[in-house]
Structure 1
Amino acid sequence: MQFAIVDIETTGGFPQQHGITEIAIVLHNGTEVEGKYETLVNPQQPIPAFIANMTGITDTMTAAAPSFEEVAPYIYNLLHDRVFVAHNVNFDFSFVKYHLQQAGFQLNTPKLCTIRLSRKVFPGYRKYGLGHLCRELGIAIENRHRAGGDAMATSQVLDLVLQNNGLRLIKEMLKKENHSQLLPANLSEDQVVNLPKEPGVYYFHDVKGKVIYVGKAKNLKKRVLSHFSGLDTSKKRQEFLRTIHSVTCTVCPTEFIASLFESVEIKRLWPIQNKSQKRFEQLWGIYLFEDSRGYLRLAIDKKRKHLEPLASYGLLVDAHRALWKLVKQFALDPSLCFLDQNSPAVLPDVTEYNQQVKDSIAWLHSQKETFLIRDKQSCVLVEEGVFYGMGTITEDISITELNTLKSHLTHYPENEVIRSMIRNYTERYPAKVVRMG
């Protein structure tokens, strides 16, 4: 088995924005080192001071060095028919592949991470960064934080892996069906392997266990793995992958339940990496009050915490549309509903008008259906037009007695996304809707 052990130094953490300042490639035939290539590279951008201090590579040193485009043909020839090996391989591979691509070369070689290898072959160490691991294994690193020194140290780690019956493990990790090479360095392979292939909601956690992303899936294992496939080298994605330290999940009976629960959890946890559904929802309501002249009046206002509207809407235009419908259907006065600023020449009779308003309210309430969405053993309850909650119910549980049914469901807060999903689902699958009362 032919290996190319690679280490690079860069101007930053993201291939699309940063350049390579140095690259070293150690060629290994599975038994011994066959050769070594090392060169400084002109990144064609300034090297930040803190990186220059850490690596010792300065702008002056790289000014006369070749650009990556100049050395790309030679680098590609060294790498393209070997296993690409690095400590935290996704970092080095993403940079090298991206910059080779910019130079016109497509690198599609298998890759191998010595961090993941070491965790399996040498379990029990507190940390597996190159410096910590080499101290544990008794490997002396010359020129730490320089490509040549780190690449040679990584090749010695690979030697020790091979000497400890690691070849079988390497072959296993290189199988196409093995996904471990796709995973972020900090995420345990076992956590992903043991994920169920069922619908549900998954959570990515940071190093402190805090949830940083919530997603839903039809197949949890497949969806989680899809986050790590491909080679998106953007800063946003690379930063996201770097912060993932663990994954947990909640299995749901159906994909629809998973979609609803995802929305509930995003609103509850407010994860830093989720972008959709993270906005303040200004709800609008139609309210009833009696004025000083005794008229019952309908008005649109922002939904208040301690005031219950007759009906609520996610958009102001929807509230206006609904109120105008009541005005036309029940011959209400637009000015008494604050829809027309011009006062009428003659006000309607108070008693007759108030009865019209009461009739409109009764009709409005009649439109608030109570129904269930049943799919397999899952149940979603909408009570008088408002999402109540969901859960799993068996056939022996009565669905005609509302209070009994509610005792077997979990109550969740409603939001505009959930309302929209339920509306779309009931229109698409009317046969799964069970109306009550």
Structure 2
Amino acid sequence: MYAIVDIETTGGNASSGSITEIAIVITDGKEIMHTYCSLVNPLQPIPIFIEKLTGISDAMVKNAPVFGQIAHEVFELLQHKTFVAHNVNFDFSFVAHQLSQHGLALQSRKLCTVRLSRKIIQELPSYSLGNLCRSLNIPIKQRHRAMGDAHATALLFHHLMENDKHKHIQQMLKKGSKDAYLPIHLNNDDLDKMPNTPGVYYFHDGKGKILYVGKAKRLQKRVISHFSNNSTSKRKQELIRLVQKISYKEYGNEVMMSVMESIEIKRIWPRFNRSQKKFEPQFGICSYMDQRGVMRLGVVKKKKNIITHHSFPLQIDGLRMMHKLAKEFSLCPKMCFLQDEKIECVGREEQFCEGVCEESEDVLTYNLKVSKAIHSLKDYQYSLAIFGQGRNEKEYSCVMLDKNDFLAVGFVPIYAMQWKKDKLKRNLEPAAINAFIRSLVLSAAESDPAMTVAFD
């Protein structure tokens, strides 16, 4: 038996919206056996544009039962039946969510008449319920009301059952069928062609715009997981509504796919990505000569017109390095902006400052120490390339970091590990670096020294 369901809601998604009307048509696939319909008090205002669309107003639902009062009756009608709806994931998410709030777990097989219609009635310009019914001469009474749409969907379902020559319904009801959870506009072929290899995947809308970028060790499995869970969050439901195409790129290994995901998120700034979209101010150690001729060091935000000797993702990292340099090279904390110049010098108290702040140390001698400190920063700048499994047996992936500030990525022949730095750099694509990538590359190099080449 099949339960054809249609609901009207306050809009939004299952976790924030509410049902205002529900209709259920029970059918054996040929004849309608039973119907049920009820207005529902959503316990929240109905937006004016929803009222204009459905005709259901706050006044109409004021004395209607709240969902809890009809939950058990709805559950009895739906359990042990296949849940059928036009865009089934929308209706199912609302009904299952509201039933769960009253301790009722709906575990039904699902059929979507949108996806089913695309398989059985091909090459129609539109598969909306209204356009389908017009094409098939199926009458709809009270469009955008629950029973009117549910009754029309039931008649459409009967037509699909009768014309299902290739047993699509039987295939769609099999355990694990993708049609039970995929977005209505997404073609199964997009997933079927996707390998279970490491890579980066992209969700596109109907105009090709990228909505989301993700990475996965097993591409197909990860993409399926986006749609196969029953999350009712606004973000998840909106993504399901918009995604119409999936593309991907294989990258061979986890390091490469993680680097490329970060690069793509920063480059595209997709609407549905959250992580790695925060602005990352970069900090660096710079030097300048003050009015006394003393060479001073300081940690500043990096800007185009400021030359820095070393870069850091966080200001605190720069300050830690400055404290280290001050003690190692006997530099004055005041001259390095590590303390307020109006108070006693901490370096003098701890006996590593030799008195330039009190004019008791020769300026040229002090500046020589600063120059040595700046030169030592080169020991903390990494120039290296990390290699990994490529897309085939004849190539390696390669991520190159040069002096912490330059990043290049790509695929190279397996003998490229013998190349000099400049040749390797010419065969890779430059990319924008960020703190996440820098940390990832250095960590990968430390954990896999055999696949890491360090340059002078």
Coarse TM-score class (shorter-chain normalised): over 0.9
Aligned counterpart for 1:397 among listed residues 408, 413, 416: 416
Residue 111 of structure 1 contacts residue 174 of structure 1 at CA under 8 Å; is this kept in 2? yes
Tell me if 1:385 matches 2:404.
yes
Tell me if 1:407 matches 2:420.
no
* CA-CA distance at 1:180 after TM superposition: 2.1
Aligned to 2:32: 33
Aligned to 1:360: 373
Comparing 63-72 with 278-287, greater Cα deviation is found at 63-72
Residue 203 of structure 1 contacts residue 214 of structure 1 at CA under 8 Å; is this kept in 2? yes
* CA-CA distance at 1:54 after TM superposition: 2.0
Aligned to 2:352: none
Residue 235 of structure 2 contacts residue 272 of structure 2 at CA under 8 Å; is this kept in 1? no
Which amino acid counterpart does residue 326 of structure 1 have in structure 2? Answer: L
* CA-CA distance at 1:394 after TM superposition: 1.6
- Deviation string 1:119-143 (CA, Å, 9 cap, x unpaired) is 1111211211101111122211111
Which amino acid counterpart does residue 82 of structure 2 have in structure 1? Answer: V
Residue 21 of structure 1 contacts residue 43 of structure 1 at CA under 8 Å; is this kept in 2? yes
Aligned to 2:227: 228
- Point out where structure 2 has 5 or more consecutive residues left out of the alignment: 343-355, 390-395
* CA-CA distance at 1:344 after TM superposition: 2.2
Match of 2:277, SS state, is coil
Residue 311 of structure 2 contacts residue 404 of structure 2 at CA under 8 Å; is this kept in 1? no
RMSD of equivalent CA atoms? 1.9
Q: Given the superposition, is the C-alpha separation of residues 185 and 433 from structure 1 closer, same or farther in structure 2, using an over 3 Å criterion?
A: same
* CA-CA distance at 1:149 after TM superposition: 1.2
Q: Given the superposition, is the C-alpha separation of residues 351 and 227 from structure 1 closer, same or farther in structure 2, using an over 3 Å criterion?
A: same
Q: Separation in 2 of the partners of 1:247 and 1:427? A: 35
For residues 226-305 of structure 1, what are the structure 2 equivalents within 5 Å? 226-305=225-304
Which amino acid counterpart does residue 398 of structure 2 have in structure 1? Answer: C
Aligned to 2:14: 15
- Deviation string 1:200-220 (CA, Å, 9 cap, x unpaired) is 111112232211211111111
- Deviation string 1:13-57 (CA, Å, 9 cap, x unpaired) is 322222222211111213322222222223233333322222222
Tell me if 1:346 matches 2:346.
no
Q: Given the superposition, is the C-alpha separation of residues 395 and 431 from structure 1 closer, same or farther in structure 2, using an over 3 Å criterion?
A: closer
Match of 1:228, SS state, is helix
- Point out where structure 1 has 5 or more consecutive residues left out of the alignment: none
* CA-CA distance at 1:167 after TM superposition: 6.8
Match of 1:227, SS state, is helix
Comparing 289-298 with 155-164, greater Cα deviation is found at 289-298
Aligned counterpart for 1:425 among listed residues 408, 419, 444: 444
For residues 34-53 of structure 1, what are the structure 2 equivalents within 5 Å? 34-53=33-52
- Deviation string 1:325-348 (CA, Å, 9 cap, x unpaired) is 111111123233233415722242
Tell me if 1:434 matches 2:433.
no
Q: Separation in 2 of the partners of 1:285 and 1:116? A: 55
Q: Given the superposition, is the C-alpha separation of residues 430 and 100 from structure 1 closer, same or farther in structure 2, using an over 3 Å criterion?
A: same
* CA-CA distance at 1:429 after TM superposition: 3.3
Percent identity of equivalent pairs: 44
Match of 1:321, SS state, is helix
Residue 399 of structure 1 contacts residue 405 of structure 1 at CA under 8 Å; is this kept in 2? no
Aligned to 1:336: 335
Match of 2:320, SS state, is helix
Q: Separation in 2 of the partners of 1:230 and 1:358? A: 59
Comparing 65-74 with 126-135, greater Cα deviation is found at 65-74
Match of 1:331, SS state, is coil
* CA-CA distance at 1:268 after TM superposition: 0.7
Using the size of structure 1 for normalisation, the TM-score is: 0.94
Q: Given the superposition, is the C-alpha separation of residues 400 and 84 from structure 1 closer, same or farther in structure 2, using an over 3 Å criterion?
A: same
Q: Given the superposition, is the C-alpha separation of residues 146 and 356 from structure 1 closer, same or farther in structure 2, using an over 3 Å criterion?
A: same
Match of 2:60, SS state, is helix
Which amino acid counterpart does residue 418 of structure 1 have in structure 2? Answer: I
Residue 216 of structure 1 contacts residue 259 of structure 1 at CA under 8 Å; is this kept in 2? yes
Residue 399 of structure 2 contacts residue 441 of structure 2 at CA under 8 Å; is this kept in 1? no
Residue 199 of structure 1 contacts residue 252 of structure 1 at CA under 8 Å; is this kept in 2? yes
Q: Separation in 2 of the partners of 1:185 and 1:4? A: 19
For this pair of structures, how many residues does the alignment match? 436
Q: Separation in 1 of the partners of 2:188 and 2:206? A: 16
Q: Separation in 1 of the partners of 2:43 and 2:173? A: 35
Match of 1:104, SS state, is coil
* CA-CA distance at 1:304 after TM superposition: 1.1
Tell me if 1:90 matches 2:89.
yes
Structure 1 runs (4+) deviating above 6 angstroms are none
Which amino acid counterpart does residue 147 of structure 2 have in structure 1? Answer: G
Residue 82 of structure 1 contacts residue 110 of structure 1 at CA under 8 Å; is this kept in 2? yes
Q: Given the superposition, is the C-alpha separation of residues 62 and 410 from structure 1 closer, same or farther in structure 2, using an over 3 Å criterion?
A: same
